[in-house]
Structure 1
């Protein structure tokens, strides 16, 4: 069995004891576990941000890692508490679309609805439901130990279309605005390598050479890049691109191929 690794992702922030309490529960039940914080700075109730952070991080961990993720856009009791496994990983959290990005990459093989405490008043779901389940999974690697089977296909998906190509035009969407205001699309890097493009977004048209992520700050250039997280992003060097263009998450974007050639810069 792989080492017991549990990652944590939430919108709890770091100015209260919630994260510490969760870790305490995990270590009480699974004292040998290695606990890794992905982030607890997801904006409150921001499912799109949580989806992206988990999707782009989870495959960097050893096989059998348990990914505990807790972000709720509404009241905590409004979604099922679930756990599921893919080929190499386990996931625990609310069934509200948070795991949609993972499920875009690979299917859930098995899923359960977590058992809940008999007394629901004043339940802190992270402490009382999710953390105990994550700890038990890290120890046993058996989903039936933490809940009742459900259809993996019933897991909630997020209302985001996948990027698509139609007659050489790429249709995508802004799936994340990062800390710097960069616009991260859902268009895979490999779709745009070595082609010049016209990017159309929010009624604006820009000609871009898709470049590797190697910026010189402060020269005020708007451009698209292939980036290390695996997706094309639109940036405005030295400024917040989201504010500059008035564009946020969910905005549609299209890339149209241009006929002229350019020198593609490789790292």
Structure 2
């Protein structure tokens, strides 16, 4: 039984997600459809790439991933199928796949070439669904694709290293449901430049000098409750995906707020780590 995932910026108010699922089930009634997210910020390629990279590995090899972000065809935004790590990704060539291929080189990169394919205002349905259905039925991608070798990259995704390796300058790439902010600074980068040194993380006017292993790592349970850090306090940790994250312990955007609201951090804002020289 084929597994097809959907990642889009369509939201859930409109009919678009239901149309995709209905079209897929009409083509391949036995397929399993899984929603990764439909709440990507509109046209936010970096946000989509972050979610996709950290979710696709949970699915079995052979899974098919439809990406409905900035999907209208143009000579600079071709429709492609990429086989990476045993998974098929169907997307526009807008850079979203490059984060996945930064760790795993692609096994195949192909341009979609449907016999009756036409330019459409809804290519996720009109182009991506038929290709996904073809693959789900066991078809070979070469039947609906042609060779392609110009995979677009997200060139501004990596943090900058400055000051002779004493400073890492990163950016906010994702804000989660709790208002926690995820940066593009990975644990491997931090460890490579730290070399046992003390450090300070700067986010606007906030300074953090410790990285926790868990969200409740800031709580010293040996202290009386009124003397502890706890809900509402700022912390830093490397999240399950290995990226530096800034969080408010037990945050809630609907009540007390989160880092994005209390500190004022938004997408692409700068986060700096300075190591003692």
Q: Please tell me the TM-score bracket, short chain as reference.
A: 0.7 to 0.9
Q: Which residue of 1 aligns with 2:254?
A: none
Q: Residues 117 and 127 of structure 2 are in contact (CA less than 8 Å); yes or no, is this contact kept in structure 1?
A: no
Does the 8 Å contact 1:197/1:210 carry over to 2? no
SS in structure 2 of the partner of residue 93 of structure 1: strand
Q: Is the 8 A contact 1:173 1:253 kept in 2?
A: yes
Separation in structure 2 between the aligned mates of residue 122 and residue 172 of structure 1, nearest angstrom = 37
1:150 matched to 2:148? The reply is: yes
Bigger shift: 157-166 or 76-85?
157-166
Contact 1:189 1:227 in 2 (8 A): no
Q: Distance in 2 between matches of 1:157 and 1:141?
A: 28
1:199 matches 2:186: no
Q: How many residues get paired?
A: 252
**Matched residues in 2 for 1:119 and 1:185: separation?**
39
Instruction: Name 2:222's counterpart in structure 1.
Output: none
Runs (5+) with no aligned partner, structure 2: 220-228, 252-256
2:6 is the counterpart of 1:8: yes
Contact 1:136/1:145 (8 A) holds in 2: no
Are 1:139 and 2:157 counterparts? Answer: no
Q: Which residue of 1 aligns with 2:262?
A: 244
Correspondence 1:256 to 2:237: no
The answer to whether residue 247 in structure 2 is matched with residue 235 in structure 1 is yes
TM-score (norm: length of structure 1)? 0.83
Give 1:192 deviation, angstroms. Answer: 4.7
Q: 1:117 to 1:181 in 2, by over 3 A?
A: farther
SS in 1 for 2:268: coil
User: Residues 16-31 of structure 1: matches in 2 within 5 Å?
Assistant: 16-31=14-29
Cα distance, 1:109–1:122 mapped onto 2, change above 3 Å = closer
Look up the match of 2:215. 214
Q: What runs of 5+ residues in structure 1 fail to find an aligned partner?
A: 260-267
| Per-residue deviation, residues 152-206 of structure 1 (Å, max 9, x unmatched) | xx1111232423655354332222122222120122235557875301234x351
Q: Is residue 197–residue 258 contact of structure 1 (8 Å, CA) maintained in 2?
A: yes
Query: Greater CA deviation, 3-12 or 115-124?
Result: 115-124
Task: Give the secondary-structure state (helix, strand or coil) at the position aligned to 2:24.
Answer: helix
Q: TM-score, normalised by structure 2?
A: 0.80
- 1:116 is displaced (CA, Å) by 4.5
Alpha-carbon shift at residue 119 of structure 1 (Å): 6.9
Could you tell me how far apart the structure 2 residues matched to 1:97 and 1:6 are? Answer: 21
Contact kept, 8 Å, 2:98 with 2:152, in 1: the verdict is: yes
Inter-CA distance 192–159: structure 2 relative to 1 (3 Å threshold): closer
The answer to whether structure 1 residue 113 and structure 2 residue 111 are counterparts is yes
